Amino acid sequence: MIIAVDGPTASGKGTIAKAIAAHFQLPYLDTGLLYRAVGKQVWLNDGDPDNAKDALVATQFPDSLFDNPDLRNEETGGLASRVSIHPEVRSALYERQREFAMQEGGAVLDGRDIGTIIVPEADVKLFITASVEERARRRWLEMQDRELEITLVAIEQDIVARDARDINRKDAPLRAAEDALVMDTTSFDKDQAIEAAIEAVQSQLDR
């Protein structure tokens, strides 16, 4: 059983995907973390995330980079969005994601092109979204909990910029698969979003 969870940044797709994986006892992959690792490696290499060659070299990052807490900050998120526009980078990471998805028993993957590019044959596809304002508020609260200094306005501007890059990139743009269930979580709290998503997945599987 393969479950694809897509959506824009700060939509709650990661939290929802983890909960789905735990509920159905499936392995989980945050594919966005792969791109964050590439973005961080470009920075560590003193490279340019907007340069395809620099970004491609950075796909050879060591697995130890996954333990770097910087992968979760806003700066690295911006770098991830910039390196992800390069077809060469997406191609280099494609097989890694496919292999995880196709393991025996299935898996849950979240990202921006799981249901459209990585595993279009997924048994269930969800597309999680929310308003820009709500996504910025959630991310700001997350940063506050981690005692990171950043303004709500700055986060909102960053989200708008990332959305534009993700939606307008030529290779694997952010969009809901034609057969995906679109869930707008703007008015949901965390528990409500998780409950609705699990119910949606179960409903799809029961058909």
- Cα separation, 149 vs 18, in Å, equals 27
Q: Which domain holds residue 151?
A: 2-206
Question: In angstroms, how far is CA 104 from the centroid of its own chain?
Answer: 23
Q: Given this model, what pLDDT does residue 128 score? A: 97
Judged against a pLDDT cut of 90, whether residue 170 lies above it is answered with no
Q: How confident is the model at residue 146 (pLDDT cuts 50, 70, 90)?
A: confident
* CATH (domain of 177): 3.40.50.300
Whole-model pTM?
Answer: 0.85
Q: Render pLDDT for 28-62 as a digit per residue (tens, 0 to 9).
A: 999 989 999 999 999 999 999 999 999 999 999 99
**What pLDDT was estimated at residue 74?**
82
**Gap between the Cα atoms of 8 and 166, Å rounded:** 8
pLDDT given for residue 198 in this prediction: 97
The count of domains in the chain is 1
Average pLDDT of the segment spanning 64-88: 91
Residue 149 has pLDDT above 90, yes or no: no
**pLDDT given for residue 106 in this prediction:** 95
137, 58 contact by CB (below 8 A): no
Number of Cβ within 10 Å of residue 140's Cβ equals 20
The confidence score (pLDDT) of residue 145 equals: 86
The pLDDT value recorded for residue 1 is 93
Strand order in the sheet with 107-111: 28-30, 107-111, 2-6, 124-129, 181-184
Mean pLDDT of 167-179: 90
Q: Is the pLDDT of residue 135 over 90?
A: yes
Give dist(CA 77, CA 86) in Å, integer. 15
Mean pLDDT value across residues 95-99: 91
Q: Which of 127, 121, 117 is CA-nearest to residue 170?
A: 117
The predicted structure's pLDDT at residue 207 = 79
Do 14 and 71 form a contact (C-beta atoms < 8 A)? no
